[in-house]
Amino acid sequence: MATQAQRTDPLDSDMLGPIQTETMTLNMGPQHPSTHGVLRVVLELDGETVLSCKPVIGYLHTGIEKNMEEKTYNKALPMTDRMDYLAPMSNNLGFVLAVEKLLDMEVPRRCKYLRVLLAEMTRLNSHLVWLGTHALDLGAMTVFLYCFREREQLLKIFEKVSGVRMMTSYFRVGGVAREPYPTFYEDCRNFLEPFSERVDEYEELLTNNPIYLRRAEGVCAMTAEQAYALGITGPLLRACGVAYDIRKNEPYSGYEEFDFEIPVGERGDILDRYLVRVAEMRESRRIAMQALEGMPEGPLMADNPKVVPPPKEQLAHDMEALIHHFKIFTEGYSVPEGEVYQAIESPRGELGYYMISDGSPDPYKVKVRAPSFANLHALGEITRGGLMGDVVAAIGSIDIVLGEIDR
C-alpha cells in the first residue's frame, strides 16, 4: 500500500517504483587513502547523512607489546619507533622515561635538553605530515608540498644524528645513543629560525581560505565533557577549550624549565583542531629554540655503568668497562620490581607506558597507552548525524596513526 509521502511525490510513477527508505551500509577502507593507513570504517547511511560510523581496526596488529616481554629493555626500545612512526622520538622518550622511573634514575641536564629539542622537532615533523595530508584530503594540494619540503629537512637532521630517517631509536635508557654530530646545533638553528615564516605560509594558504573554512568551521564539533568521557587527549581535547598539556601539568624531562603557552580552541570543531595544531607548531619552535640557546654544558649520559654502555675508547684499556659492556649487551640489566606508568605529551596526545617489572632483565608486561587508540573513539561521536563527505575531514582532523592503534 502506498504511503502519503509516495503519493504526493511528483516523480512517483510505475516506472520509478516506491521510494527507497532503508539505510545503506557503506564500507570505507581499509585501503582507502584518506583513512591514513589501514583503517576500515563501516558507515550506516541514510542518503548522505551518517547514522553511525564504526571504525574497524586490527589490520596492523603485530604483537609489539607481547614481543617486548621476550626481550631485554634495550632490545625492546627499537620497537617503539614502529608504533607511532610519525613521531618516533616521542615514543622513544616515553619508553626510556618509564624504564628510568623503574630504575629510579636521573639523566644529566644536558641530556634532558637534547631530548626536549629533538622531541619538539619530532612534534613539528608529525604536525607537518598531519597538516599536509589533512589539507590534501580536503583538496588543498599545495600545502602538502610545502609541508613535505620542511619535513625533508627535519628527516635529514634526524638521519645525521641517529643514522636513520624515521626509525631513529636515538634515545636510550640513561642518555642517548651517541653525541650529536659537530654541526648538529647549527643545522637545528638553520631549520628553526626561518620556521615561523614557513608556518605563516601554511596559514596564508588555509586559515582564511573560504573553501577550507566551509569544510572545517563548525563541522564535527565535540564538547569538553564528551572528550573527557571518551578519554580523548592532546590537540583534540585542547581544541575543546581545555588547557591540559602533560608538558605543563605533569612536567617530565625538564619541561618545567621552558617557557611556552598551551594553545586552546573554543568550539572543538575541525577548524579549532587545525588552529590549535598550527599554534602548537609555533610553540614547539619556541621550546626548541630555548633548548638550543640554553643547552647546558656537562655530561650527556647518566653515570650508571650497569645500564649505560661505557665509551668505546675505554674498552681498549679498562677491564671493568669491557665487562660492563659485555654484560649490558648479552644479558641486559636487571630492573627492580615494581609497576610504573609514565605519560608524555606526544603530538597526538597522552602517550603512556605502563610497565611491570619482576626484577629480571626483561619487562614482565608493557602496555602502551596510545593516544590514537583512545582518540579514535571520537570518530563515531563526531560524525554521527553529519554528512558523509565530512567523514574524511573528521578522520584527518583526529590525526590517527594506525601503527600505534594496532601495535
Partner 1 sequence: MSEEEREQVEPEEPIEKKDPDLVLLQAKIGGGFLGATEHRGQISAQIAPGALLDAARFLRDERGYKLLSFVCGVDCLELPVSYRFKVTYSLLNPERSRRLRLEAPCADDLEPAMPSVCGIWPGARLHESEAYDLLGITFEGHPELERILTPEGFEGHPHRKDFDISAEPVAFTFRDTPAGKPKAAE
Strands of 104-209, DSSP E: 171-172, 175-176
Identified binder of partner 1 from the candidate list 124, 344, 369, 391, rule CB under 8 A: 369
Helix (H) or strand (E) holding 84: none
Residue in the structure block whose three cell numbers are 561521536: 381
| CB of 258 closer than 8 Å to CB of 113 | no
The DSSP secondary-structure symbol of 387 reads B
CA gap 59, 327 in Å, rounded? 38
Stretch near partner 1 under the rule CB under 8 A, chosen from 42-50, 116-124, 154-162, 348-356: 348-356
In the bound complex, what is the minimum distance in angstroms from residue 341's beta carbon to partner 1?
A: 6
Full DSSP string of 237-306: HHHTT----HHHHS--TTGGGS-------SS-SHHHHHHHHHHHHHHHHHHHHHHHHT---S-SS-S-TT
Stretch near partner 1 under the rule CB under 8 A, chosen from 20-28, 61-69, 84-92, 153-161: 61-69
In the bound complex, what is the minimum distance in angstroms from residue 343's beta carbon to partner 1?
A: 7
| Binding flag, residue 354, partner 1 (CB under 8 A) | yes
Site string for partner 1, 227-266 (x = CB under 8 A): -xxxxxx--------x-x----xx----------------
| Binding flag, residue 364, partner 1 (CB under 8 A) | yes
| Binding flag, residue 398, partner 1 (CB under 8 A) | no
| Binding flag, residue 338, partner 1 (CB under 8 A) | yes
Identified binder of partner 1 from the candidate list 39, 41, 57, 114, rule CB under 8 A: 57
Give the count of residues interacting with partner 1 (CB under 8 A): 41
Q: Name the residue nearer to partner 1 (CB basis): 145 or 243.
A: 243
| Binding flag, residue 63, partner 1 (CB under 8 A) | yes
Stretch near partner 1 under the rule CB under 8 A, chosen from 199-207, 253-261, 270-278, 334-342: 334-342
Identified binder of partner 1 from the candidate list 18, 33, 58, 296, rule CB under 8 A: 58
Q: Taking CB under 8 A as the criterion, which residues in 176-205 touch partner 1?
A: none
Identified binder of partner 1 from the candidate list 97, 118, 343, 398, rule CB under 8 A: 343
| Binding flag, residue 39, partner 1 (CB under 8 A) | no
Stretch near partner 1 under the rule CB under 8 A, chosen from 57-65, 149-157, 163-171, 265-273: 57-65
Buried/exposed 254-272: b ≥16 CB within 10 Å, e otherwise: bbeebebebbbbebbbbbb
From the number of C-beta atoms within 10 Å of its C-beta (0-12, 13-18, 19+), residue 30 rates as: middle
Identified binder of partner 1 from the candidate list 183, 326, 339, 385, rule CB under 8 A: 339
| Binding flag, residue 95, partner 1 (CB under 8 A) | no
Rounded (10°) angle between helices 73-81 and 88-103: 150
| Binding flag, residue 105, partner 1 (CB under 8 A) | no
Distances (CA, A) of 341 to 37, 97, 206, 357: 28, 10, 39, 12
In the bound complex, what is the minimum distance in angstroms from residue 210's beta carbon to partner 1?
A: 35
Buried/exposed 95-118: b ≥16 CB within 10 Å, e otherwise: bbbbbbbbbebebbbbbbbbbbbb
Residue 231, classed as helix, strand or coil, is: coil
| Binding flag, residue 390, partner 1 (CB under 8 A) | no
| Binding flag, residue 222, partner 1 (CB under 8 A) | no
In the bound complex, what is the minimum distance in angstroms from residue 221's beta carbon to partner 1?
A: 18
CA gap 290, 247 in Å, rounded? 15
In the bound complex, what is the minimum distance in angstroms from residue 297's beta carbon to partner 1?
A: 29
| Binding flag, residue 384, partner 1 (CB under 8 A) | no
| Binding flag, residue 293, partner 1 (CB under 8 A) | no
| Binding flag, residue 27, partner 1 (CB under 8 A) | no
Name beta bridge partners: 53: 43
Beta strand 24-28 with 40-46: parallel, antiparallel or unpaired? antiparallel
CA gap 51, 23 in Å, rounded? 9
In the bound complex, what is the minimum distance in angstroms from residue 237's beta carbon to partner 1?
A: 8
| CB of 35 closer than 8 Å to CB of 395 | yes
| CB of 131 closer than 8 Å to CB of 196 | no
Contacts with partner 1, residue ranges (CB under 8 A): 56-58, 61, 63, 65-66, 70, 101-102, 104, 228-233, 242, 244, 249-250, 338-341, 343, 350, 352, 354, 356, 358, 364-365, 367, 369, 373-374, 376-377, 406-407
